[in-house]
Structure 1
Amino acid sequence: MPLIVPAYAAVLGLMFVAISFRVANTRRTMRIGLGTGGDRQLERYIRVQGNFAEYVPLALILLTFLEMQAWPAWLMHTLCALLLVARAAHALGVAREPEDIRFRVTGMVTTLSILIATSVLLLAGGILGR
């Protein structure tokens, strides 16, 4: 039964709630019910939220499968911690005006690297019979 990934999933869940509150509060302040109303900052916040929702669930599923294959705890903690840092970096990079491309790129490259690494490890685990 997975124990490591659920703890990190909980933290990521709280991150998503914080990101969502930022979108909702900006909508309320700007009185924009749907779309962006042409507001660039709201558009940035919406993309941070959307990007998080697009990538984090798949990463957590893959990480959970890795943990179920009994990969070492140090590896699970490393990959999960990197995902947390990657998503925070991406959120900081995209939400800033002007955009901080270093944080955005670092966040996305790290997130994609985690998806690649977990996928490769899962394939290896399947082949090796983990």
Structure 2
Amino acid sequence: MTPLKMPLPISLTFAAIFSLINLWLAYRCVRIRLNGPGGVGDLGIPELQERMRAHANFVEYTPFVLILLVLIEYAGGSGYWLEGLGSTYVIGRVVHALGMERPKFTMQFLGSFITWSVLLALASWALWIVARSR
């Protein structure tokens, strides 16, 4: 039996990695609730507020990055660049999450800067692909 060629392997890999990061960020919130008073919301706990914000921030940006990765890969974009930008995004999001929890504005800023840079690069790349195809 001949193995099937996997479509969009780079995007699929990053979708899995992003899902695992999402679970990690969610678990960090749940762990505080389980070890504390329980309940819903931030419970007035500063550490939980910071972790919830880091999780929400990841959820806000990741869909756009993933959609652009998928579409650029589908359009035939360079695998090396896609892997590089996806990996850079992962690093940026982890640095940001850790910077949110600890009062290390530098880490939070660096993570945000990396995220915005990757998103800008992917959006520009997508627009370049569209302009070239006309």
What interval of TM-score do these two structures reach, taking the shorter chain for normalisation?
over 0.9
Aligned residues: 128
Gaps in structure 1 of 5+ consecutive residues: none
Over the aligned positions, Cα root-mean-square deviation in angstroms equals 1.3
Q: Which residue number in structure 1 is paired with residue 94 of structure 2? A: 88
Choose 1 or 2 for highest CA Rg. Answer: 2
Name which of 13, 20, 24 aligns with 1:14: 20
Tell me by how many angstroms 1:71 deviates: 1.1
Secondary structure in structure 2 of the residue aligned to 1:31: coil
Per-residue displacement from partner, 1:71-122 (whole Å, max 9, x unpaired)?
11110111111011011110110011xx111111111111111111111111
Mapped to 1, the partners of 2:70 and 2:101 lie a distance apart of 29
2:44 to 14, 38, 46: 38
For residues 1-130 of structure 1, the aligned pairs below 5 Å read 1-96=7-102, 99-129=103-133
Code of the residue aligned with 2:85 in structure 1: it is L
TM-score (norm 2): 0.90
Between the aligned residues of both structures, percent identity stands at: 27
- Name stretches of at least 5 consecutive residues in structure 2 with no aligned partner: 1-6
Q: Give the Cα–Cα distance (whole angstroms) in 1 for the partners of residues 44 and 75 of structure 2.
A: 47
Q: Runs ≥4 in structure 1, deviation > 6 angstroms?
A: none
How high is the TM-score relative to the length of structure 1? Answer: 0.93
